[in-house]
Amino acid sequence: MCSNTYCFVKISTVLYICENEKKYTIKDIAALAGVSKGTVDRVLHKRGKVSEEALAKVNRILEDIDYKPNVIARNLKNNKDYHIGVLLPNPDIDNYWKRCKEGILSASQVFMPFNVNVTIVTYDPRSTVSFKKKHQVLLKQNPDAVLLAPLFYKEAKKAISDYKKLNIPVLTFNNQVSPEIADGFVGQDLIQSGRVAAKLLHSMIKTGDITIIHINEDITNALHMQQKEKGFTTYFKELNTSLFKITTLQIEAKKLQTALPEYLNSHPNTKGLFITTSKSYLVAQTLETANFSDISLIGYDLLDLNIDYLKSEIITFLINQNPKQQTYLGITKLAEHLIYQNEIKKKTLLPIDIINSENFSLYIQ
């Protein structure tokens, strides 16, 4: 008998775990289910054809006995190396992607014993040329699967098409390309995210001008910003009221300190700002310097500087996109697909967390 909570049982050269102390063989499971040993073997290893009735019988017995395969032993027996490539915006250029890198590294440690190797290739998030160049670098590595942040819609579609021609599965995160192109997506519903931001501002502002601000982005090719803006503007359109005027402002970070005060002085009825990137702290800093104290500000992500302005309540709300969890799940799903042939889910949506000065500490532990 086993003295530990889990006992490891070797059956037909494959290890199994039983949560109780009883040792079950394939013969035992077959007898309990009333099927042949060959049928049980096909169910356990997901190979060959099994009738729906037999599958249901075997799965019912496996559930009753709390059967769990020792997947580590199974993978080591397979003795195959897997390579997951990641095309990631450079965290040294945009700090938002630092947490994404942390999630990738964390997941890669989990799957290292399964012979899964993860390579990160970074590109300049401001440059389509850099994206295309680094895509070619990763493509030449011939990875078994790819995790990709598709900041640039057209270029991302072309890159995904290149991988698919080589039968390389692709999972996107942060931004979703057309579902029929990539194998799956991990992240938030960005249209709904924009609607949440609109609802928050609507709860604080009963009438007045509201401005959507895109910083350092070419909105014509930035899918994530288009979706957030679409959700935001659709919410106010559905109100069917003339109490609000929604304007979009695209601006470079280096011009923000002069251009934004000029804009606000020429739009004195501005009551709310919605920042579609993680750079809310730049806007907050400008508002503080220029003494605009009666404007509600909503932005994204728990960067240190954003949190500082959230604590001082210059930023009213932040929407947490949980970038670390996005990439952790992305690597996990690709690794499980390679190791266990698990199907890649088309869409894995994370909650839209609303952060304020009272609850931010719960998200940064």
For 289-313, what is each residue's pLDDT tens digit? 999 989 999 999 999 999 999 999 9
The pLDDT confidence band at residue 79, using thresholds 50, 70 and 90, is low
The proportion of the chain whose per-residue pLDDT surpasses 70, expressed as a percent, equals: 87
The predicted model gives 284-293 an average pLDDT of 95
The predicted model gives 170-179 an average pLDDT of 85
- The residue that leads in pLDDT, 327 or 23, is 327
346 pLDDT exceeds 60?
A: yes
d(CA 199, CA 134): 39
Distance of alpha carbon 37 from the chain centroid: 41
Task: Yes or no: say if 183 and 343 are a contact pair by the CB < 8 Å rule.
Answer: no
Report pLDDT for 11. 31
Report pLDDT for 10. 33
- The residue that leads in pLDDT, 73 or 156, is 156
- Strands 208-215 and 270-275 come out as parallel
71 pLDDT exceeds 70?
A: no
Residue 163 structure tokens: 């991988």
The predicted model gives 282-290 an average pLDDT of 96
Report pLDDT for 332. 97
The predicted model gives 142-159 an average pLDDT of 93
Residue 276 structure tokens: 């579609």
Report pLDDT for 60. 87
Task: Yes or no: say if 44 and 54 are a contact pair by the CB < 8 Å rule.
Answer: no
Considering only 83-92, 99-108, 315-324, 356-365, which range has the smallest mean pLDDT?
Answer: 356-365
3-state secondary structure of 56: helix
73 pLDDT exceeds 60?
A: no
Report pLDDT for 151. 87
Query: Furthest-apart CA pair in the chain: how many Å?
Result: 81
The predicted model gives 197-216 an average pLDDT of 95
The pLDDT confidence band at residue 23, using thresholds 50, 70 and 90, is low
pLDDT, tens digit, 9 for 90 and up, residues 24-68: 777 888 888 899 888 887 888 776 788 888 888 888 888 877 776
pLDDT, tens digit, 9 for 90 and up, residues 123-142: 999 899 999 999 999 999 99
Other Cβ atoms closer than 10 A to 170: 27
d(CA 145, CA 337): 9
CA-closest candidate to residue 174, choices 316, 276, 307? 276
The predicted model gives 197-202 an average pLDDT of 97
pTM value > 0.85: no
Orientation of helix 96-111 relative to helix 323-340, angle to 10°:
30
Report pLDDT for 274. 98
What average pLDDT is seen over the chain? 87
Q: CA dihedral defined by 186, 189, 190, 194, rounded to 10 degrees?
A: -150
Please report, for residues 72, 131, 134, 171, the alpha-carbon distance to residue 156 in angstroms, rounded to integers and kept in the order given. 35, 8, 12, 12
Considering only 89-98, 164-173, 174-183, which range has the smallest mean pLDDT?
Answer: 174-183
13 pLDDT exceeds 50?
A: no
The pLDDT confidence band at residue 220, using thresholds 50, 70 and 90, is low
- The residue that leads in pLDDT, 84 or 41, is 84
Single-letter residue type at 261: P
d(CA 121, CA 153): 18
